Structure formats: C-alpha cells, structure tokens
A and B are shown apart, each in its own frame.
Chain A
Amino acid sequence: MEISRRSLLNTVATGAAVSALPLRRARAQAKPVIKIGVLNDQSGPYRDTGGTTSVVCTKQAVAEFASQMSGYTVEVITADHQNKPDVGAAIARQWYDQEGVDMIIDVPNSGVALAVAGVAKDKNKVHINSGAATSDLTGAQCNANIVHWTYDTWMLAQSTGGATVKAGGDSWYFITADYAFGHKLESDTTDLIKAAKGSVKGSSSYPFPGTTDFSSFLLQAQSSGAKVLGLANAGGDTINSIKQAKEFGLTMDIAALLMFITDVNALGLDVAGGLHLTESFYWDLNDKTRAFTKRILPQSPDNYPNMDHAGCYAGSLHFMKTINKMGVAAPKASGRDIVTAMKAIPTEDDCFGKGSIREDGRGMFNSYLFQVKKPAESKGKWDYYKLVQTSEPAQAWRPLNAGGCPLVKA
C-alpha cells in the first residue's frame, strides 16, 4: 500500500512537472522582443500560395528593418493551422496568451481567418491578414484589431469576374469550395453578374479540404449550358479543377476567380495560358518588385513570391514602422491602438508601392488584371503574366459604406 501511494504520487508529480517544463523558458532578454507569428497552411492545398514562402517574406521584412528598430528586436515564429478553424483559433489564443505574440500575419483560409480575427479582438492584439479572401473581414465581421492587406473576394469578383462578363460571358456555373471563402467569392461574383444583367445557371459546393476529384461537378457544369465556369476556390483545388476541365475537354470558358502565380506555375503555361486572373502584386511589375523578388529568391528558390507572400512582407514592415512611432510598449498594451495608428500612417513598400489602410481595415492598393502568357510568349523562368488592366484603389475595392462594417460611421 505504501509503495503504491508513493509510486502514484511520483507518476502524477512527474507528469505535472514534465508538462510544465517547456513553458518555463527564460524570457529575460536584453531588449524587449516583439513577436510576429506566421500562421498558415504548411501541409495542405494552400502550402504553396502561403506556406514557408510567407515565413521567408516576413523574416525578410524583419531583417531589412532591423537597423531601424528603436530599442527592440523582432522574433518570428510559425505554425500550421491545417485549414481547421478550431486548430487556428487554439494556436492564436495560445500565441497571444502564452508565447507573447503581438501580431499574427498571413492566415489563409477565410474560415480560419474569421476565427483568428475574433481571438485577436478578444485578446486586444493585432492580426494582419494577407492570405484569406473573404470580404467579410472588412465587412459585416470587421473589427478594430485587424488589417486585411492583400486582396479580397469583392476585388477579385470585380476584376476577373468583371472582365469575363465584359467579354461576353453572361451565363455562369460555379464550382465552390464549401466554406466561408468559397461562398463569399460566389456571392460577390453573383452580385456583379446580376448587376450586368447576366445569369447564374447553378452551382456545386464540394467539401473542403480533401476533395481531389472534380469530375462530377465539371459534368454538371457542362450540362447546365452556361458559358462560363466560375471557380470559387483556390490553391491546389483550382489547379485540380482546371487540369481536370482540360482533360474532360470542357467547352466552357474558365474564370479562375482566385489564382496566384504559384498556381500558374503548378499548372504550366500550356494548360493555364490565356486565363485571366487578378493579383495585387506581380514580381515582374516594376523595378522595385523585381528587386524585392531578387532578395527573396535565395531563400525560396522554387517558389516565386505571389501577392499573399508580398502582403506578409509589406504588412510586417508597416507594423514595425508603426511600432517605431508608437513605442515598443504599445503593442503589449493595446493592439487596437496599434491598428488605429497603422490606419493613420500611409504605407509604402517595394511590393505595393504607396498606399493606405482604410478605417474598416481594408488595405488600399492597385489591383491588376493579368492574362497568363501562352508558352511561346514566355521568355524565361516564371515569366507568366501580361498586364491587361490596372485598377486604382478607388475602383478596385468595395466602397467604404457598402460593406456594412460597424466601424464605419454612416
């Protein structure tokens, strides 16, 4: 009996001690540390559109800004949210609570992004979103602790969808990823089609993540008689749907509503050539973007930066500039104040040029409509895009009062 009691006590005590150990890390540092957490998909369908290249770009921003940091250092940590909202929210909560993370960046997958945005508001920290698309982040579900940097569903619908409708594509069928992002992209595009007196013949939602076979949806699309196949999905799913559409010999026009250069690379120009798509950054846009890409490539040689990656760089840079202005204690005191200050300071960086952040958290930059080059037109590695049209911020983004964001005073 005596032994059993002791052994039991020992077991429990050891268990408790072991579980407590890793948390007792020395936090004492010479300078205060600002922590940035890159939270994205590192193993699933969005691992190339975000993934490690986002981490590289964030670290690049920190390295470039290091000489200007006034009395602090910046540490970057990273995690994989596996495209699960509960996993993402739990990591965000733990980062803000335990790890001393001041700002979380990237977070592709709208479902996860909305969850993380809620945690940021709860904990009064900062979240700069680059990877997620849903325009709800600056609309009905906006809050004062987030900035939505790179792109959104409204801007994609307006640009890619608008160009398709203008070219005569007035009847659509959607294949939609069945979560926040897919539905928002479909509904934003549907609004635009309806406004242009077009029609939507139908849509299929597929389970996300995990769907790899799109054949039954493609057949439904074909038999609907619509002219345009609208792909309200992203990353690996878009790649698979386009590939399979080509294999089936689908006769519809394809509107890939969200596509990154990384997806074009995966598809190859003989499949993707001719498609229209929208990004707010392209590596070969001007001297500054080329210089930026040159700095990134040694650390990410097989994956050129796309707009999501560029947003991680630019967002981190702007965050650090704001801290320089507000003082190093500010982000620990109130994330809301930091975001308010970020909105007051104009943005400028190599990727997006001069811009600003609107009061609903929307980053205001140019958006570009590109056409993917045919194999014969491409002159070199990753030379994929022809610029078709540039939209000024005022045209590119949803009007401030149309989003229904409670932060915007009527």
Chain B
Amino acid sequence: MFSLGFTRPQLIALAVMVAVIAIAPMAVYPVFMMKIMCFALFACAFNLLIGYVGLLSFGHAAYFGMGCYLSAYAAKHWGFPAEICVLLGGIVAAAMGAVFGAIAIKRQGIYFSMITLALAQFTYFLCTQMAFTGGEDGIQNVPRPFLLGFLSLSNDMAIYWMVAVVFLVGFLAIFRIIHSPFGQVLKAIRENEPRAISLGYRVDDYKLLAFVLSTFIAGAAGGMKSLVFGIASLSDVTWQASGQIVLTNLLGGMGTVFGPVVGAVIINTLEFYLSPFGSWVTITQGLIFVACVMVFRRGVIGELGARFKVAL
C-alpha cells in the first residue's frame, strides 16, 4: 500500500499537519511559521536518537548551529544556491556527528550525554574564536540565495514553500527510518541493548549511523534557519539551545512521530508571544517543564496517544 507504514490515525494527523502548513501563512506571520518548521525538524532529528535509540545527546545544538554557520557562509561568501547551502549545512553537521558520535557511543547513559555536552561546548568555543563565524557578531546580512540557481527566495512566501518541502521531506525520511528494519533494530537497542548484542547485531554501528542521520537532519534544519533569518549567530550553538530541544521533545512526547512537531509549536509560540515580557519566557518554560514531568510525563502527543490507544 501507499501508506508508507503510516497507520490510519497517523495518516490523518499527517494530513492535518500538511493542511496547517498550507493554510497557516494566510493567518500567521510566515517567518514565524518557518521558524517553527526549522525547530520542529531539529526536534524530530533529536527525537530519532532519544525516542528510538534511547540516546540522550545533550549537545545537539552544536550540529544545528554548525549547519546555520555553514549555510550562511556558503550563501554569503560563495554565493551557492539555496539547496546546496542547506545540504552543505547537513553534510558538515553529519561529518561532525560522525566524529563526535564515534567518541560518544563508547559510553552509555549519563556518560554518553556528558561527552556529547562536552564536545558541544568545545564546538561553541571554536565558534566564538574562529574567524569565519564572526564571533559575537555572527554571520550577518546573509542574502537569500536563489533556489536551484534561478528561483528568487527574497519573497517570504517563496522561501516558505521551500522550507515546508524540506521540513516534510525530513519528517517523512525520519518516519521511514524508524519504520524500516533498521529502525526496528534501533528500537531493539533502546529496549534491551545486551539482548540486541546477543542476537548478533553490531550495536555500535547502528548507534553511530542513527547519530549521523540525526546530525545530518539537525544541520539541514539549521541551514534553513540561517537562510530564513539571514543571520547565523552564537545563540544557536549554546547549551541553552541544546536544552531547549530536549524540553521541546519532552513536552511534545518523546518517541512519538508528531510529538516533537507539537512541542516545537508550543515552545516557539510561547517565545513569540511572551517576548515583550523578557524573562517571563524562561520562567513560563520552566513552569511548563515542571508541569510536564509531574502531570503528563509522556508529553502532549504521548498522552493523547495513550488515552486513545493509538500510536501517533
């Protein structure tokens, strides 16, 4: 069947999501919608690791941020077309992910998380010091490149459709990954790693491949963000950005397909409408986080799914 492994409820949810993406720009500020999609894709990439392999990478902003920088640099200084900029962001992030992942997966649990955090902080330091990132200023006034070399993206709606397509492709790719035989092995590793080893799987190879895939998508999401906003800066490589993506997943529902998307919508909407009140953003996020782990530990989508006994 054409269902690609989607169950009926998932197909419906997917249809709703596509419809919202198609209709939303008429009612909502398109740049805001694009920001949500970039962070949603980033959250989905993170979810691939935490939700389906059980790896808590606490430094995922390093890959997202590096994607931002590379894509911005390629657009500004090399004049590459948009799709190449985004791809380049993904590829560089994946290359970093391959190296960092190879080091980090040697350890489990909290040690894995701490290694990823340490390497991310190392990346942050490099970003403050290296000349090409522009340090505290970031890479500014990045011109919106042309898509495929000739389609202008300077109009917000033009780049909106590009972001929407990249987001959906990334989203479906992750969906395919977790429902493929490869994804089944990942879930087996999450449930019981020694057992997966005893069944003959080379667990480390699987983990590393999942890590690289996740960092590639995170980098591509970052690459899109810097093209949308025309700026790549340190905020995207900070550990706070890494923390925020963990919160996004917790809130939406780890290990659910749509959870990270819903989480990204909630977090970014809060940030957008609370921004005039300054520090209230972080206070509200903190309160929501507390409420989330106390009251609905499976996240919004996780709880909904459990309530109605469907996997979303």
Q: Name A's B-contacting residues (CB within 8 A).
A: 1, 3-5, 7-9, 11-12, 15-16, 18-20, 22-24, 42-43, 79-80, 84-87, 89-91, 93-94, 97-98, 110-111, 114-115, 118-119, 122, 178-180, 207-208
Give the residues in chain B near A86, CB-CB below 8 Å: 138, 229, 231-233, 235-236
What are the interface flags for B22-42 relative to A under an 8 Å C-beta threshold, 1 for contact and 0 otherwise? 011001110110010000000
What are the interface flags for B185-200 relative to A under an 8 Å C-beta threshold, 1 for contact and 0 otherwise? 0000000000000000
B17 within 8 A of A: yes
Cβ-defined contact, A114 with B229, below 8 A: no
B136 within 8 A of A: yes
Give the residues in chain B near A1, CB-CB below 8 Å: 8-9, 308, 310
Cβ-defined contact, A84 with B235, below 8 A: yes
Q: Name B's A-contacting residues (CB within 8 A).
A: 8-9, 12-13, 16-17, 20, 23-24, 27-29, 31-32, 35, 128, 135-138, 140-141, 156, 229-236, 262, 265-266, 269, 273, 275-276, 278-279, 300, 304, 308, 310, 312
Please classify the interface of chain B as helix (H, G, I), strand (E, B), loop, or mixed, using the class held by over half of its residues.
Answer: helix
Give the residues in chain A near B233, CB-CB below 8 Å: 84-86
What is the CA–CA distance of A68 and B9 in the complex, to the nearest angstrom? 62
Cβ-defined contact, A122 with B230, below 8 A: yes
What is the CA–CA distance of A287 and B14 in the complex, to the nearest angstrom? 69
A-B contact pairs, 29 of them (CB 8 A): A1-B9, A3-B308, A4-B304, A7-B308, A8-B13, A8-B16, A8-B304, A8-B312, A9-B16, A11-B304, A15-B265, A16-B27, A16-B28, A19-B28, A42-B278, A79-B276, A85-B137, A85-B231, A89-B231, A94-B32, A111-B137, A114-B140, A114-B141, A115-B138, A115-B140, A118-B141, A118-B230, A122-B230, A207-B136
Cβ-defined contact, A19 with B141, below 8 A: no
Additional A-B contacts beyond A5-B12, A7-B304, A208-B136 (11; CB < 8 A): A4-B9, A15-B262, A19-B265, A86-B233, A89-B140, A89-B229, A118-B230, A122-B230, A178-B128, A179-B136, A207-B136
Q: Which 4 A-B pairs have the closest CB atoms?
A: A118-B141, A179-B136, A4-B308, A20-B27
What is the CA–CA distance of A18 and B308 in the complex, to the nearest angstrom? 24
What is the CA–CA distance of A80 and B28 in the complex, to the nearest angstrom? 23
With beta carbons under 8 angstroms apart, the residue of A9, A22, A43 that contacts B273 is: A22
Which chain B residue lies CB-closest to A8?
A: B13
Please classify the interface of chain A as helix (H, G, I), strand (E, B), loop, or mixed, using the class held by over half of its residues.
Answer: helix
Cβ-defined contact, A19 with B137, below 8 A: no
What is the CA–CA distance of A91 and B275 in the complex, to the nearest angstrom? 10
Which chain B residue lies CB-closest to A89?
A: B231
With beta carbons under 8 angstroms apart, the residue of A4, A12, A85 that contacts B16 is: A12
Cβ-defined contact, B31 with A12, below 8 A: no
What is the CA–CA distance of A263 and B24 in the complex, to the nearest angstrom? 47
Give the residues in chain B near A16, CB-CB below 8 Å: 20, 23-24, 27-28
What is the CA–CA distance of A297 and B3 in the complex, to the nearest angstrom? 69
Give the residues in chain A near B12, CB-CB below 8 Å: 5, 8-9
In the complex, how many angstroms separate the beta carbon of A3 from the nearest chain B beta carbon? 6
In the complex, how many angstroms separate the beta carbon of B137 from the nearest chain A beta carbon? 4
What is the CA–CA distance of A3 and B310 in the complex, to the nearest angstrom? 11
Give the residues in chain A near B28, CB-CB below 8 Å: 16, 19-20, 23
Give the residues in chain A near B17, CB-CB below 8 Å: 12
Give the residues in chain B near A20, CB-CB below 8 Å: 24, 27-28
What is the CA–CA distance of A97 and B233 in the complex, to the nearest angstrom? 22
Give the residues in chain B near A90, CB-CB below 8 Å: 31, 35, 229
Give the residues in chain A near B235, CB-CB below 8 Å: 84, 86-87
What is the CA–CA distance of A79 and B12 in the complex, to the nearest angstrom? 40
Which chain B residue lies CB-closest to A207?
A: B128
Which chain A residue lies CB-closest to B233?
A: A86
In the complex, how many angstroms separate the beta carbon of A289 from the nearest chain B beta carbon? 32
In the complex, how many angstroms separate the beta carbon of A409 from the nearest chain B beta carbon? 23
Given A4-B310, A7-B308, answer yes or no on A114-B137 (Cβ-Cβ < 8 Å).
yes
What is the CA–CA distance of A146 and B104 in the complex, to the nearest angstrom? 48
Cβ-defined contact, B304 with A119, below 8 A: no
Cβ-defined contact, B231 with A115, below 8 A: yes
Give the residues in chain A near B266, CB-CB below 8 Å: 15
In the complex, how many angstroms separate the beta carbon of A210 from the nearest chain B beta carbon? 10
Which chain B residue lies CB-closest to A82?
A: B278
Which chain A residue lies CB-closest to B137?
A: A111
What is the CA–CA distance of A235 and B44 in the complex, to the nearest angstrom? 41
Give the residues in chain B near A8, CB-CB below 8 Å: 9, 12-13, 16, 304, 312
Give the residues in chain B near A93, CB-CB below 8 Å: 31, 229
Give the residues in chain A near B278, CB-CB below 8 Å: 42-43, 80
In the complex, how many angstroms separate the beta carbon of A404 from the nearest chain B beta carbon? 16
Give the residues in chain A near B232, CB-CB below 8 Å: 86
What is the CA–CA distance of A80 and B280 in the complex, to the nearest angstrom? 13
Give the residues in chain B near A91, CB-CB below 8 Å: 275
In the complex, how many angstroms separate the beta carbon of A118 from the nearest chain B beta carbon? 3
What is the CA–CA distance of A241 and B300 in the complex, to the nearest angstrom? 49
Cβ-defined contact, B16 with A178, below 8 A: no
Cβ-defined contact, A97 with B31, below 8 A: yes
In the complex, how many angstroms separate the beta carbon of A40 from the nearest chain B beta carbon? 13
Give the residues in chain B near A18, CB-CB below 8 Å: 269
